[in-house]
Structure 1
Amino acid sequence: MRLADFISDPKSIELIERTREYAKHFFEREGTHGFSHVERVFNLCMHIGREESADLEVLALAALLHDVARPLESAGKVEDHAAEGARIARHFLRSIGYPKEKVEAVAHAIEAHRFSRGPEPETLEAKILSDADKLDAIGAIGIARVFMYSGEHGRSIEDSLAHFEEKILKLKDLMYTQTAKRLAEERHRFTVEFIERIRREIEGEI
């Protein structure tokens, strides 16, 4: 994806690329919440944000920084990666002179991106980030991530399928924007077809 296809201001592009490099250093390894996840969420945010007429600069920065504290949470060093990520984002963006009101817009989107706990997203950009993060858990990528996690944690295929039922299949109905709802329908349908197929294979159907 070419950022210039979405944002034309060279200063904005430079800021976003600087933020991308800053965000990268928080991720020492790949995995279900590695930097590749951040990049996919970023790409989704740009596409959805353009359709929904969002502030693409705020959205881009929030997407790149939304999971910077995820490795800290995984290591047990912080309790809530969204709250800690917002703190880190505030510190970084203030240090480079980003306007205060936009810093807070980015921080709010990061704080509100988790669907499983508050606060609720109040701005369009926060809603799009939350939608993009959920969309990356559905469809082909979502299926791959579930089984990556299962491999990392020694979880069985049956346990993985239970996770689909308990969480993944519910995400379609939690989208905020019309664009994300449309994308979620297609990804949800693919996920359901996969689950039905793998269950048939577990039963040994020919």
Structure 2
Amino acid sequence: MNETFFSIKEYVQRILYEPGSHGFDHTLRVTDLCHTIGMKEQANLDILIPAALFHDIARPVEKKTGIPHEKEGARIAGEYFTSIGYNDPYIPLIQHAIEAHRFSSDPVPVTLEAKILSDADNLDAIGAVGIARTFISSGERNSDIPDAVSHVYEKLLKLKDLMYTQTAEEIAMKRHNFLLYFMSVLENEIK
């Protein structure tokens, strides 16, 4: 998996070269979280890690065309993994994990690997990194602090209750508590 992992990583990095709230650094953090959670939950890393690396591969396509990145990303992953001769039975499982990772769309994750990818992606949206990404995202939309605060209340504070795995629940609780603390300080400062 090591040589294949590095070639997959390089391929994804060439596509996700632009910085931002869903840049390559986000992909790497999600992949690291998937590895950590996957080891504890005994997931198949030969499915999970490629899915994590590819989970946002179609973000640039979505930005240009409006096609949901999770759907297009699953399609791109299928083509890519077939082209490199990756383990055929794993390809549909990788595609399912990519297609089911998004907080706000169907399908729901049914495999352990898809559940872990969803958990890891949601975990990267809360805690200190999640706060930073929220403000980056607000700036990307030419918006302001109240927009970022709204996003925290509309989405981020709900994420701890949406974890599928025990390992992710434990991580989420710590990050959620930090998010609550940050919001109380922020609200005090902007009154």
TM normalised by structure 1 equals 0.90
Given the alignment, which residue of 127, 130, 153 partners 1:142?
130
Tell me the equivalent position of 1:180: 168
In the alignment, is residue 35 of structure 1 matched against residue 19 of structure 2?
A: no
| Partner deviation per Cα, 1:39-72 (whole Å, 9 max, x = no partner) | 0000000000000000012111000011110111
1:25 aligns to what SS in structure 2? helix
The letter for the 2-side match of 1:150 is S
In the alignment, is residue 54 of structure 1 matched against residue 43 of structure 2?
A: yes
What is the 5 A alignment of 1:5-84? 12-75=1-64, 77-84=65-72
TM normalised by structure 2 equals 0.97
Tell me by how many angstroms 1:28 deviates: 3.2
Given the alignment, which residue of 154, 159, 168 partners 2:156?
168
2:15 aligns to what SS in structure 1? coil
Distance 2:17 2:26 in 1: 13
The letter for the 2-side match of 1:132 is A
Distance 2:86 2:66 in 1: 26
Which portions of structure 1, spanning 4 or more consecutive aligned residues, are displaced by more than 6 angstroms?
none
Tell me by how many angstroms 1:152 deviates: 2.0
Tell me by how many angstroms 1:154 deviates: 2.2
Tell me by how many angstroms 1:78 deviates: 4.3
Identity %: 51
| Matched-pair contact (CA < 8 Å) for 1:109–1:127 | yes
In the alignment, is residue 112 of structure 1 matched against residue 100 of structure 2?
A: yes
Distance 1:78 1:103 in 2: 25
Higher radius of gyration, 1 or 2: 1
2:101 aligns to what SS in structure 1? coil
| Matched-pair contact (CA < 8 Å) for 1:27–1:71 | yes
Could you tell me which runs of 5 or more consecutive residues in structure 2 were left unpaired when the two chains were aligned. Answer: none
Could you tell me which runs of 5 or more consecutive residues in structure 1 were left unpaired when the two chains were aligned. Answer: 1-11
Tell me the C-alpha RMSD between the 2 structures.
0.9
Distance 1:152 1:109 in 2: 27
Tell me the equivalent position of 1:157: 145
| Matched-pair contact (CA < 8 Å) for 1:16–1:57 | no
